[in-house]
Structure 1
């Protein structure tokens, strides 16, 4: 039985997109064991990703910060497994070195530094037709196996206890369909405009559905609090009300997610939840790499498109109608 190490200590969306690699490794080696090294805040993402058997939490802003922290992590996990191969996302040099110290027989990563490449089993990578980030992650499996990778959907398995919290507590007594609204990103210029959010919320209410604002962190709280009090009353405020698995259960309970350009949109796709993506800034090249692939249930409104609430709502209605007919 082969044992693999996948290293990705990046953020929410980056982590979930790595599932394309994990699923390809499991497709090629069904009996293998896959260990995922995850950034601490996103352990709950990697833990329930399809294809992941075990998660090692890397607390890069806490006990594993810096060189001393890196060495502490190494000591915590050395000699646990003999890894047949390690796959290091984004060519992270800390991850490459860790893989080497852990004794991985082969290491695959996209790193441009000539000295670092001496540690790798691959040379400069020619991705050929693969443009999207999730496909490029998966291509590392092809380099190892020597067999073609498949472009496939990412998947996240929501644990039962998360559904119990949503159904028995957070949404208890709610019977109307819910449309989730995720307006806040890490960059204010990418956020869904407040006037657009409120106009959408009103349209959702008029359609007999419930507009629910989701998100996490102080920026989301501030966004909600800065909405006019009389207008924001139409929203079901679910900001900071869920863990990541609970957010998964919540999204599975929604008819559609309308989202700005965030990792939550990728997460919803991994849950097979229909998504209307609103990308204010992305150009064509960025969309080819980061936008939803064609096999996901989605609508994309990108730079140069119509960002009016009317158009976003029309796309939402079209997506709902399509999925009812399936």
Structure 2
């Protein structure tokens, strides 16, 4: 292994803003909890299947305002609840950017797209329009009279659940003021505990059961688009590459490493590379696309979420850093290879029998704590830089070859 270069901590740019927001949250969250509280205590229940509901809920609200990958890892709970309460209506409240994904889940009856995260921005907090939006959201939820509301992650979701007027309110202990919940699951999301999907399913589902094969359905139009853009080719194995990651620069694998890996994969005529990602990843994909392009395609920034899901469902392998497309591929049951640096794969790696991760074992790993973008405090992200392209390629060969070994 190469000798580590000297590292210098970065200046605390933006740190005061995070501290101020944390201070405001410390004051506001308990106040919301007091408003939401209907009793002087809440009950901690380790086994959600034993929650003492007087009767099965007929309407269920799930709340999570998060990015694509975290939203994807929340969807198995909807399937669990539908199996447990087949007559219930399940509503999922999420961000406008994640709402199209939630609409692809067969087990969700309605999706509520809300720009509620605007409340977490200090500048927006002084705008009366933001508070009017929040009030309208809370009143709309209360009018629906949900039997069960579950906060899937974070203080904002906890506050919305607490004020929802639901008969029973559930969340993870410590993620919101205690008055927001009637039942809490003990513990906290931390590296080395359990996977995010198991955390979420533990809020009302059954983590011991297998994930359903039909969790996501992109629809016939998206499937037809995928067939037109990347026609089936039985002579080539399709490898999808997502070079980006939205939640922090420390998650990015260096372009030079991607370029070397692309050269190795494309050296075999029996393989086809397809690049995906957001508009911000398009320029990187252009640089990585082999010349001549031949059978390889650059679709970064050119897919809707249903189209992305339809495309990932056809992949023989998806390779990515910690990102939404990686988690989607794993949930679709497709082979997925994650390149992990600041993130703990035990907590949020690709989840599925055909998923693997490559991690550099450094003393500072993992450093990503979910509350802020993943930015290396030393300014070099060695945890990603030291993932060698040849090591990744060895895993690629193993995963593409049915007779390959771990």
1:296 aligns with 2:376: no
Picking from 122, 129, 145, the partner of 1:82 is 145
Residue 70 (str. 1) matches residue 130 (str. 2) = no
Q: How does 1:125-204 map to 2 (within 5 A)?
A: 125-126=186-187, 131-141=194-204, 149-150=207-208, 152-153=210-211, 155-168=215-228, 170-172=229-231, 176-186=236-246, 187-204=248-265
TM-score by length of 1: 0.83
Separation of aligned partners in 1, 2:396 and 2:117: 39
Aligned pairs (5 A) from 1:115-130: 116-123=177-184, 125-126=186-187
Q: Cα deviations across residues 152-186 of structure 1 (Å, max 9, x unaligned)?
A: 43732221111011112x12486633211111113
CA distance in 2, matches of 1:74, 1:55: 15
Change (3 A) 1:150 1:50: farther
Q: Secondary structure at the match of 2:342?
A: coil
Q: What is the SS of the residue equivalent to 1:277?
A: strand
Query: Tell me, which stretches of 5 or more residues in structure 1 are unaligned?
Result: 143-147
More divergent stretch after superposition (57-66 vs 29-38): 57-66
C-alpha contact 1:258 1:275 (8 A) present in aligned 2: yes
State how many pairs are aligned: 310
Q: 1:232 to 1:62 in 2, by over 3 A?
A: farther
- Farther off after superposition, 300-309 or 120-129: 120-129
Tell me, yes or no, if structure 1 residue 316 matches structure 2 residue 316: no
RMSD of aligned C-alpha atoms?
3.2
Match of 1:307 in 2: 387
Q: Which has the higher helix share?
A: 1
Q: Distance in 2 between matches of 1:229 and 1:184?
A: 15
Within 2, Cα distance between the matches of 1:196 and 1:185?
15
Q: Give me the whole-angstrom Cα distance separating, in 1, the residues matched to 2:338 and 2:289.
A: 26
Which position in structure 2 is the counterpart of 1:275?
336
* 3-state SS of 2:153 partner: helix
- Which residue of 1 is the match for residue 68 of structure 2? 12
CA contact (8 A) 1:276 1:300 kept: yes
Alpha-carbon distance in 2 for matches of 1:135, 1:91: 16
- In the alignment, structure 2 segments of 5+ residues that lack a partner are 1-56, 362-382
Computing the radius of gyration from Cα coordinates, the structure with the larger value is 2
Cα displacement (A) at 1:232: 8.4
Say whether residues 1:59 and 2:59 are aligned partners.
no
The offset of 1:237, in angstroms, is 1.2
Superposition deviation, residue 259 in structure 1 = 0.9
